[in-house]
Amino acid sequence: MPTEHRPDGAEETMARDPSRRRSRQPRPRRGLAQLPWRRLRNPYRPIEVLSGEQVEAIHQASLTILEEIGMDFLHPEALAILRTAGADVAAGGERVRFDRALIEQSVARAPSSFTLHARNPAHDLTIGGNHLCFTAVASPPNVSDTERGRRPGNFCDYCDLLRLGQAFNIIHMFGGYPVEPVDLAPEIRHLDAIHAFVTLTDKVYHGYSLGRERIRDAIEMTRIARGVDEDQLLREPSLFSIVNTSSPLRLDGPMIEGIIELARCNQPVVITPFTLSGAMSPVTLAGALAQQNAEALAGLAFAQIVNPGAPVVYGGFTSNVDMKSGAPAFGTPEYVKATLAGGQLARRHGLPYRSSNANACNVVDAQAAYESQMSLWAAVMGHANIVMHAAGWLEGGLTASFEKLVIDVELLQMQAELLAPLQVDEASLGLDAIREVSPGGHFFGAAHTLERFETAFYAPVVSDWRNYGSWLEAGAPDATARAHRIYKEVLAEYQPPPLDPARREELDAFVAKRKEEGGVRAA
């Protein structure tokens, strides 16, 4: 067919013309070609969906909520601490009302950024400012891959997901159990789960705020893993925990114990209200954000009252429900706006910000990808510092998907490359190359090209750019099929990171002792 009929179709001609291909093919790669470990900083201005006045209006509404309506703190110790600090605690009740100044002054004590120390110092992370960290999926009850289907979470898949999180450099840390290992008894689950974090990975991980004993065990195991004493751990935040409010306007007892223990030990707490607009918060985004901000500030103020200056993070998780069924939706336009607005609120308070890479899809298909991209662009351009569930989240958080994890690695790596600065200087402007090639020529053989070709562009993990014929001949694998193969290959090549034998011995002994004691008695 005549090429002039396809003004944008010149690529076909080029791809089919062998004289336009480089003669030197790169050697077959060994292992996975991925980006190196890299701490990310976001050089771009955040996208702002709210004016400064709107941010202030939402913030003031939040303060009115906490002053007039109040929030329930379901724990006597919290009520006592808050009463002492000057909050208005209802006699015999759990409702706490906060003076506006008490909230503002308490939150103002929080640091704007801090370092999270990993077992491997090369994996230490800065949380705050324009730093950006990605975590693996956290907390789904189910796990799936295309070969074995969807199944309840279990320790075997849990460990495989840890191995993948360790192997992929773009996953900076673990935001919780990448799947809930429900085959482990709840009394001892946290012991085996954290033991696996320490032995299979050397990155920062998360401990669940599920009561005092569990979080104390997690802190002690982290101290042992890092080989430091209690004083050093107190100076060096090394374990973080996501605390979800029980929206609307409630904080549960086990979560409160987590806040108290972590804040006292100077370990970071992320307060994340789960303000699903239309269900647990008003159907309007402004209302949902006002409530999100109220709940986050109440939790953050509480942490600062427990230990002024303790590291904390402002969490945003506002989304909307499906109008037809009431089911939660993610990666929607409303989700994007709430995420961008959440970043503005966090920055208004001078706090690090947590967001997520969320989707509500049942299968690793186009919807899973486009919803994730909506969430991820919002998180990155809203200047989130921690992007939770960045790799592997499916089905609104009910399933951890091996294939989705690999596809998300591609999405995250592309964001990382996007944040790398665009060089403009004499060499990169390449006028000599343009002179050399001159009108009508091509750049494949130019010296300027050959010098830079191997590393000039992002090399994808999953994306398949073969022409249609070659792709068809290769069995027409879609992105999900390729991601399946990749996760298997990465697991096969996985090597555990080195761990000092003395620390390992101490960790094993701790776990054995706690198991002998019966672990945590069920509540």
Name residues contacting a copy of itself, limited to 250-289 (CB under 8 A).
Answer: 250, 252, 254-255, 272, 274, 276-287
Told to check if 6 binds a copy of itself by CB under 8 A, we report yes
**Shortest Cβ 316–a copy of itself spacing (Å):** 12
Residue 296 parent element (H or E): helix 285-306
Q: Which among 108-116, 227-235, 372-380, 486-494 is the span making contact with a copy of itself, rule CB under 8 A?
A: 372-380
- Taking alpha carbons only, the member of 375, 365, 280, 295 closest to residue 326 is 280
- Taking alpha carbons only, the member of 337, 352, 334, 254 closest to residue 296 is 352
Told to check if 438 binds a copy of itself by CB under 8 A, we report yes
Distance CA 515, CA 464 (A): 48
Identified binder of a copy of itself from the candidate list 169, 199, 244, 307, rule CB under 8 A: 244
Told to check if 246 binds a copy of itself by CB under 8 A, we report yes
Cα 313 off chain centre by: 13
Which CB, 13 or 232, lies closer to a copy of itself? 13
Distance CA 231, CA 426 (A): 52
Q: Which among 80-88, 100-108, 248-256, 496-504 is the span making contact with a copy of itself, rule CB under 8 A?
A: 248-256
Which CB, 11 or 500, lies closer to a copy of itself? 11
- Inter-residue contact 245 to 78 (CB < 8 Å): no
Told to check if 148 binds a copy of itself by CB under 8 A, we report no
Identified binder of a copy of itself from the candidate list 115, 130, 154, 367, rule CB under 8 A: 367
Told to check if 396 binds a copy of itself by CB under 8 A, we report yes
Told to check if 91 binds a copy of itself by CB under 8 A, we report no
**Shortest Cβ 76–a copy of itself spacing (Å):** 17
**Shortest Cβ 241–a copy of itself spacing (Å):** 9
**Shortest Cβ 92–a copy of itself spacing (Å):** 16
Name residues contacting a copy of itself, limited to 12-51 (CB under 8 A).
Answer: 12, 14-15, 20-22, 25-26, 44-45, 47-50
**Shortest Cβ 317–a copy of itself spacing (Å):** 7
Which CB, 227 or 441, lies closer to a copy of itself? 441
Count CB-CB contacts under 10 A for residue 119.
24
Question: What is the dihedral sign for C-alpha 213, 218, 219, 220?
Answer: positive
Told to check if 183 binds a copy of itself by CB under 8 A, we report no
Q: SS3 of 441, please?
A: coil
Name residues contacting a copy of itself, limited to 103-132 (CB under 8 A).
Answer: none
**Shortest Cβ 228–a copy of itself spacing (Å):** 27
Told to check if 57 binds a copy of itself by CB under 8 A, we report yes
**Burial bucket for residue 3 (CB in 10 Å: 0-12, 13-18, 19+):** exposed
Told to check if 64 binds a copy of itself by CB under 8 A, we report yes
Name residues contacting a copy of itself, limited to 220-239 (CB under 8 A).
Answer: none
Q: Which among 114-122, 223-231, 247-255, 306-314 is the span making contact with a copy of itself, rule CB under 8 A?
A: 247-255
Count of residues in the chain:
523
Q: Encoding tokens for residue 180?
A: 């809930």
Q: Which among 61-69, 83-91, 219-227, 306-314 is the span making contact with a copy of itself, rule CB under 8 A?
A: 61-69
Distance CA 178, CA 30 (A): 27
Name residues contacting a copy of itself, limited to 325-364 (CB under 8 A).
Answer: 325-329, 332-334, 336-337, 341, 356, 360-364
- Taking alpha carbons only, the member of 255, 270, 260 closest to residue 175 is 270
- Inter-residue contact 87 to 96 (CB < 8 Å): yes
Number of residues that bind a copy of itself (CB under 8 A): 172
**Burial bucket for residue 7 (CB in 10 Å: 0-12, 13-18, 19+):** exposed
Check residue 423 and report its DSSP letter: P
Which CB, 119 or 205, lies closer to a copy of itself? 205
Told to check if 458 binds a copy of itself by CB under 8 A, we report yes
**Shortest Cβ 99–a copy of itself spacing (Å):** 18
Distance CA 173, CA 192 (A): 18
**Which residues are within 8 A (CB) of 429 and not within 5 positions of it... i.e. 6 or more apart?**
none
Residue 458 parent element (H or E): none
Identified binder of a copy of itself from the candidate list 4, 231, 473, 516, rule CB under 8 A: 4
Which CB, 226 or 241, lies closer to a copy of itself? 241
Told to check if 324 binds a copy of itself by CB under 8 A, we report yes
Q: SS3 of 456, please?
A: helix
Told to check if 95 binds a copy of itself by CB under 8 A, we report yes
Count CB-CB contacts under 10 A for residue 174.
22
Helix pair angle (155-167, 479-493), 10° resolution? 90
Told to check if 208 binds a copy of itself by CB under 8 A, we report yes
Which CB, 167 or 446, lies closer to a copy of itself? 446
Check residue 204 and report its DSSP letter: B
**Shortest Cβ 230–a copy of itself spacing (Å):** 27
Which CB, 165 or 397, lies closer to a copy of itself? 397
**Shortest Cβ 197–a copy of itself spacing (Å):** 16
Distance CA 436, CA 423 (A): 21
Cα 19 off chain centre by: 45
Distance CA 375, CA 331 (A): 5
Q: SS3 of 62, please?
A: helix
